[in-house]
Structure 1
Amino acid sequence: MGRKSRVKTQKSGTGATAVVSPKEMMNLISDLLQKCSSAAPSPGKEWEEYIQIRGLVEKIRKKQKGISVIFEGSREEFFPELMAWAQESGASCEGVEIANFAGEGFGLRATKDIKAEELFLWIPRTMLMTVESAKNSVLG
């Protein structure tokens, strides 16, 4: 709001990318959300589900190719604000912190021992970007 935007959108490549319809993207994203939010498969089917999820992600990435977002600044400086917002919004994230894993990027690291079947992260649905919330937003 009072800050200058620190994100630049930059077109890359030859510019020969086809225009993707918002409906097509919504369908792909809806499929991905459905796949990721369904019950965990049996251990023997986990790899198959991973392949399906990876395929959907790659389809989305290909359709978005040609436009990239460049962030000028340090992501880490916003992590405390992100975690505070998450807790204020009802998320339970005690016992984890955001960490930079060399060569892999940012992720969550446990700050305490987590027992099997123990809930260590909970995010309320109101914080999630869903097909319904996207349709009700300026995106829809």
Structure 2
Amino acid sequence: MGKKSQSKLSSKKNANRENNRIVQKRKELAILADKLLRLTSIITQVSNIGNSWELHKQIEAVIKEILIIEAPFNIKTKQNPRHLNIENFLKWLNENVATFEGVEIGEFEGYEFGLKATKNFKEGSLLLTVPSKLMLTVQNAKESELSDFISVDPLLQNMPNITLSLFLLLEKNNPDSFWKPYIDILPEKYSTILYFTAEELAELRPSPAFESALKLYKSIARQYAYFYNKIHTSNIPVLKNLQEIFTFDNYR
């Protein structure tokens, strides 16, 4: 057998092993998603915060397993740091007739980027105008490849924020997206409770925000489990595009 034939055979074996590994990981994720869906369907009494906390720890344990398995699927193309994308974002705004005067994007210590005034404004002054075509909206999602899924899914029909989340995920992974200059300046992570460890979340326990935080985490975990099952079992073309990019880390 020649070297070329041996090389092709070796490559084929490696590809088969990789495919088998991915299939196995998907099976593990499907089991965990089902478990997560069951856990997040448990109703705890509002007055029993102890039970809610114990349930949260079970949910978080499953999420940790999911994050480990999904880590290879979270690999993103190398992007510039956010501040290097601002110039391109401003160019995109100008090209699409957004107007702003006396304000600029600035970095604030401890808060990352925000809008900074460069002059004094009178109360009621118009600071900027943004054409509707620049806004990433539910209507855009309904007119996209996601429309077939929206038309049959009751959650997407009744919760526009989730529709936008899935649409943003698709656009983020589309190098030719019209909104790419905007998406490129978005943070990779946020300071919401969805990124808190159990120890950090426990610090909220003396406050009324603790219960709300547990509810939010549980809700997002349930949404993830619900859509993971839908994406991997429904026969809708756009869902094939979501299969490789819909992860808990990308969704939260």
TM-score (norm 2): 0.28
Larger radius of gyration: 2
TM-score (norm 1): 0.49
